[in-house]
Amino acid sequence: MNSKGVRLARFMYEGIDEIFYCWIRRRGGEDFDEEFVLDRASRYWLFDYREKRYTVFTKAMYVKPKEVITVSLRSKDTFPYGVFDLMVKLPSWPKGPTVWFGFEIEDLFGGGVIHYRFVPGTPGSLAACAGAFPEPICVELPSFPQDYAERRHTYSIHVYRSMAMWLIDGKVRGIVLYPEHNIGKHVVTNKPPYAIALAPVRPSTHLSILLDIDGCPEEEYVWEDLHPWNLRVLPGDPEPKFALKLYKHGSDEMLAGSTVEREIVSHPVPIYDLRNKTILFKASAPGVLRLEVCTLSGTWEEYKTIQVDEDELLKELIEHEALLARMIYRPSKGPAHIKVAEFLGT
C-alpha cells in the first residue's frame, strides 16, 4: 500500500507529471470520431508557488483547450478507503463542460467511481456519484452553496467498506451504500440535510484520484483557483465511526432542541454493515418512540416500539442488519421538548 498520499510537498519535490497520468480525448478524422491521446498533466494544470496573499497563488488553473473534448488527470497511486479533500472555488461558467472530481479508476466508471459531478449553469448543480460498469448512480446533493464560484468551499469524500460519504464544508451532504444487491439504482431521499442512495453496482474501494473536465470542445474552458495546495488525499479507515445528532426529515434542523406537538420523524441514518448501532433519546414528555428500517422494496417497516419516560435517557440498540433506520417520536402530551436525539454506530 502506498501511504505517501497526495499533498503539496509531493508536487514540489516530485512534480505533477510524476503524480498524475494524463490523457486527452479529441475529435477524430475521416475514419474515426474521437481518439485518446497520451499527454502530460503539466500542460493542462498550470500553477506556480508565488502568493498574491496567503494560499492565493498568482497562477492556479486547470485548462481544457478548444478542440479538446476531455482532459483527464488520474493519480498513479490508488488509495484504499480514500479520504479526499479539495478546498476550491468551482467554475462560474453559465454553461459548459462537466467537471468530475474525487475517485475513479478509469474512463466511464469501469472498476469503480466515488466522486463529485459538477454541472455548470445559473446556478450549477453538484451530485454524488458511485458505482461501476455499466453506469453509476448520481444523486444531486442538497444545500449546495450558491456562492460556489465566489469563495472557496471544502469538498470531501470519505470511502468506507460498504458506503461512502460526501461532505461540504465538513457537513455530510450525501451517503451512498454499496452492498451487492439486485434492485438497480435507488435514491432513498435527496432532501436536506443529506441525500441517501444505493449504488447499482459495488465499486472498488481502492481508487485513484480523478480531476476531469469533460465536454464542449467548441471553446476553451479554464477552472480557476485549482492549485496543489488545495488538494489533500490519503488512505483512510475501512470502518466508519458515526456519532450523529439526528435531524428532522427533509430539514437542516436538528431534533434536539425542537418542540413537538403531535409527531416528528427523523432523517434516516445508515446502519448497514455496522456491528454496533445505538439510538440515544430524551424528551420532556412521555410518549412512544418507533424505530423503523428501510427495506430493498423501498418501504419503511416497524422494527421496534419503545415507551419513552419523561426526562429519562433512552438507550436503544438495533441488533439486526438493515440498510437504514429512522425514529418517530409521538408524545403522549404536548408540547414536548426533545433534549437528546443521537445515533452512534461502529
Residue 2 lies in a domain: no
- Whether pTM > 0.85 for this model: the answer is yes
Q: Does the residue 218 lie in any domain?
A: yes
Could you tell me if residue 1 is inside a domain? Answer: no
Q: What is the pLDDT along the chain (346 residues), one digit of tens a residue?
A: 456 899 999 999 999 999 999 999 998 888 899 999 999 999 999 999 999 999 999 999 999 999 999 999 999 999 999 999 999 999 999 999 999 999 999 988 889 999 999 999 989 999 999 999 998 999 999 999 999 999 999 999 999 999 999 999 999 999 999 999 999 999 999 999 999 999 999 999 999 999 999 999 999 999 999 999 999 999 999 999 999 999 999 999 999 999 999 999 999 999 999 999 999 999 999 999 999 999 999 999 999 999 999 999 999 999 999 999 999 999 999 899 999 999 999 9
Q: For residue 29, with 0-12 CB atoms within 10 Å meaning exposed, 13-18 middle and 19 or more buried, which class applies?
A: exposed
Domain CATH code at residue 80: 2.60.120.560
163 shares its domain with 123: yes
Residues 224 and 279 occupy one common structural domain: no
Q: Among 167, 201, 234, give the residue marking a domain's end.
A: 234
Query: Which of 234, 261, 292 is a domain's end point?
Result: 234
Residue at 278 is within a domain? yes
Q: Judge if 174 and 319 occupy the same domain.
A: no
For residues 186 and 260, state if they share a domain: no
Residues 100, 186: one domain?
A: yes
Specify whether the CB–CB gap between 246 and 327 falls below 8 A: yes
Q: Does the residue 62 lie in any domain?
A: yes
85 and 62, same structural domain? yes
Domain shared by 43 and 100, yes or no: yes
> Are residues 230 and 246 both part of a single domain?
no
- The reply to whether 72 falls in a domain is yes
In the numeric block, which cell numbers belong to residue 147? 456562492
* Same domain flag for 58 and 108: yes
Which residue, chain included where needed, has cell 419516560? 309
| Listed residues 234, 258, 284: the one ending a domain | 234
Whether 14 and 156 map to the same domain: the answer is: yes
169 occurs within a structural domain: yes
Residues 6+ apart with CB under 8 A from 329: 255, 260, 263, 264, 281, 283, 287, 288, 289, 290, 308, 336, 338, 341
Domain carrying residue 207: 8-234
Q: Is 171 within a domain?
A: yes
**Domain total for the chain?**
2
